[in-house]
Amino acid sequence: DVKLGGLGPDYEAIKEKVKKMKLQKEYSRQIKEYNMKNLTVVQRLPEKPQVSSLSRQKALEYAKKIPRPKTFLRAQSEQEVKVLPQAASGTSLPQLPSLQSLWNRHQKEKEVVAAFKSLHIL
C-alpha cells in the first residue's frame, strides 16, 4: 500500500483542516459566551446617590450670588462707546491717506514687482 503523489486534491488533509477549524470556532464561541456572562456582571455601575432637591436649591442660590467674570466682548463694546463720543465732539481723527497718494504707492509697487519678474525672482 504505497501512496504515490498526484495532481488531484488531498481530501484527507482537507478533512483534517476543516475539523481543526470547527474545533477553533466552537472554542471561540464558548469563550465568547463565558466572557459575556462575566462582563455583564462586572460592568454594572453602582447607582449614584439621589441628590435631594434641598441641596440643589442651595447650590442654585450659591451660583446666583457668585460675581460673574467680565468678558472680553463686554470690554470691547465699552471701548467702542468711549471712542465714538470723542470723535463726535470734534476731536481730530487720524489722517487717512488720500486717494492720489495710495494710487502713486500702488504704481511704484507694480514697478517693483515687474522688476522682480524680469529678473525671474518671483
For the stretch 76-114, pLDDT in tens is 555 555 554 455 555 666 677 788 888 999 999 999 988
In a domain, 62, yes or no: no
Any domain includes 24: yes
Task: Name the residue range of residue 25's domain.
Answer: 10-45
Q: Which residues contact 122 (CB under 8 A, 6 or more apart)?
A: 113, 116
Q: Give Rg (Cα) of the chain.
A: 42
Report how many domains make up the chain. 1
The answer to the question of residue 98 being in a domain is: no
Measured in whole angstroms, the distance separating CA 52 from the mean position of its chain's CA atoms is: 36
In a domain, 30, yes or no: yes
* 0.85 surpassed by pTM: no
Domain presence at residue 20: yes
Question: With bands split at pLDDT 50, 70 and 90, how would you rate the model's confidence at 7?
Answer: confident
Is 89 a domain residue? no
Angle (nearest 5°) at CA 66 between 64 and 71: 105
Q: What is the pLDDT of residues 51-70, one digit of tens each?
A: 678 888 888 999 899 888 77
> What count of Cα atoms within 13 Å lies in the side-chain half-sphere of residue 41?
5
Does a structural domain hold residue 120? no
